[in-house]
Amino acid sequence: MTDYYLPAKSDGTDFRQDIGINYHEHVGETVQPPYPNPVGVFNDGTLRATSTPKGALWLAAIFANIYHFSDCKFYRVTGTPVATLEIGDLGYVHGFMSLYIAQEYTTAEIKSLAGMPNNSNEIW
């Protein structure tokens, strides 16, 4: 199965309050959005993950206010995308109806996977 990368708040919860999922509490489990809707990547009915660790840093920067994402958590997830949006050199953002939460990473760990120095805030 293909690995994807999902950013979350420092406590492991989804950036969107209406989703209400704490990914930290569900490592090793499958999660679904509370109001599933497969139309599009950026709607409240899909869970969002990226195809690359660097893409997850980009998504975290958007959600967590650019350059204030050092405390974010990241998750390696698997699932079947229902929607896709290309984000250039950073890969793709995908929308999912369900995700298996395989592993949790710190910001430093995801930067290492992305091939970036830990002291770098540059993500694009």
- pLDDT tens for each residue of 13-67: 988 777 789 999 999 999 999 888 877 777 778 999 999 999 998 888 887 765 4
Q: Is residue 123 part of a domain?
A: no
Q: Is residue 122 part of a domain?
A: no
Q: Is residue 120 part of a domain?
A: no
Residue 98 pLDDT greater than 90, yes or no: yes
Q: Is residue 71 part of a domain?
A: yes
Q: Is residue 105 part of a domain?
A: yes
Q: What is the CATH number of the domain that holds 108?
A: 3.20.170
- Concatenating the DSSP letter of every residue in 25-64 gives GGTTSEE--SS---S-SSSTTSEEEESSHHHHHHHHHHHT
Q: Is residue 90 part of a domain?
A: yes
Q: Which domain holds residue 58?
A: 4-113
Q: Is residue 76 part of a domain?
A: yes
Total domain count for the chain?
Answer: 1
Dist. CA 21–CA 35, nearest whole Å? 12
Q: Is residue 52 part of a domain?
A: yes
